[in-house]
């Protein structure tokens, strides 16, 4: 919104709707956007993107906070762009570098548990890539998938009994249950490395994270290319966050003997 308003000012009107994490609400909201014949739809996170892609083939749809567009939209032979009325930005941080963070902070680690929600295709994609990257470092891994909030505690407890470190990919369900992760993992002495800032803030030791504000701003600049410059969205390649940052959670890290690791900054305390 900031990026668009900087150029269009009062000439742009935003219809801001929150689906509250409910995919059915996403469809209802998107259908109202289509009915009102808006000029562009911005979809935040995978369920919103999927609803928008199904609802219209004509209105440009820009998405953000999407880890992997090919998985989200079931596109085979991915080329970096969709070829239809959808484009946007990805919140995927370099998973190879995240694996390196685990090895750097916990050099004696033998087995990593990858925790994610099985209903989120983007999370499974990250889990598969992380498995490959850890294997390159000689580290064993095991996936632990929960179906929704109701079985998070059971799955986390099982992971803690079988691994040395836990990795949490970018996962909406996990991010909304960091309190449960923290309540189980810290007493068990199992550190968590997170893929993004909010999860690290709630339960992690460290993260290699992007700035979601910067990602949103980059998406806004894409919107301007479409609305002002007349760019063809079908030819716009997916873009990524301009930079990543190593952050650590001072309170939790200290419990594992990690104090001000070189090259890391304290995780932001602001949501």
Task: Give the model confidence (pLDDT) of 147-205 as tens digits.
Answer: 988 999 999 999 999 999 999 998 888 989 999 999 999 999 999 999 999 999 999 99
Say what the pLDDT of residue 34 is: 97
26, 47 contact by CB (below 8 A): yes
Q: Which two tokens stand for residue 18?
A: 């929150």
Find the largest Cα–Cα distance for the chain.
57
Strand pairing category for 111-117 and 140-146:
parallel
Average pLDDT, the chain: 94
- Residue 163 gets which letter from DSSP? -
Spatial separation of the C-alpha atoms in residues 249 and 32, rounded to whole Å:
41
Mean pLDDT in residue range 44-71: 94
Say what the pLDDT of residue 122 is: 80
Nearest residue to 196 (alpha-carbon basis) of 148, 250, 126, 252? 126
Q: Which two tokens stand for residue 78?
A: 């991915």
Say what the pLDDT of residue 235 is: 97
Say what the pLDDT of residue 60 is: 98
Percent of the chain predicted with pLDDT > 90: 83
Spatial separation of the C-alpha atoms in residues 228 and 231, rounded to whole Å:
8
Say what the pLDDT of residue 121 is: 78
Residue 92 pLDDT > 90, yes or no?
no
The residue to which tokens 């939209």 are assigned: 73
123, 148 contact by CB (below 8 A): no
Residue 270 pLDDT > 70, yes or no?
no
């Amino acid at each position: 919104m900031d990026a668009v308003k900087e150029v269009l000012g009062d000439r742009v009107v935003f219809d801001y709707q929150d689906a509250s994490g409910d995919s059915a609400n996403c469809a209802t909201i998107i259908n109202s956007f289509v009915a009102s014949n808006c000029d562009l739809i911005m979809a935040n996170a995978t369920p919103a993107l999927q609803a928008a892609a199904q609802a219209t083939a004509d209105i440009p749809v820009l998405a953000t906070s999407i880890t992997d567009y090919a998985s989200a939209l079931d596109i085979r032979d991915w080329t970096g762009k969709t070829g239809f009325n959808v484009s946007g930005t990805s919140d995927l941080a370099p998973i190879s570098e995240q694996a390196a963070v685990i090895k750097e902070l916990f050099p004696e680690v033998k087995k990593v548990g990858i925790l994610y929600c099985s209903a989120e295709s983007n999370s499974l994609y990250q889990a598969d890539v992380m498995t490959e990257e850890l294997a390159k470092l000689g580290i064993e891994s095991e996936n632990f998938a929960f179906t929704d909030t109701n079985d998070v505690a059971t799955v986390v407890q099982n992971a803690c009994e079988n691994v040395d470190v836990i990795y949490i990919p970018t996962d909406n369900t996990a991010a909304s249950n960091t309190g449960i992760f923290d309540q189980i993992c810290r007493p068990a002495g199992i550190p968590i490395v997170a893929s993004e800032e909010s999860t690290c803030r709630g339960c992690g030791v460290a993260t290699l994270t992007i700035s979601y504000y910067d990602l949103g701003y980059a998406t806004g600049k894409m919107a301007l290319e479409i609305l002002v410059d007349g760019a063809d969205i079908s030819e716009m390649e997916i873009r990524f966050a301009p930079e990543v940052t190593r952050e650590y959670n001072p309170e939790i890290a200290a419990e594992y003997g990690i104090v001000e690791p070189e090259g890391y900054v304290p995780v932001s305390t602001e949501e």
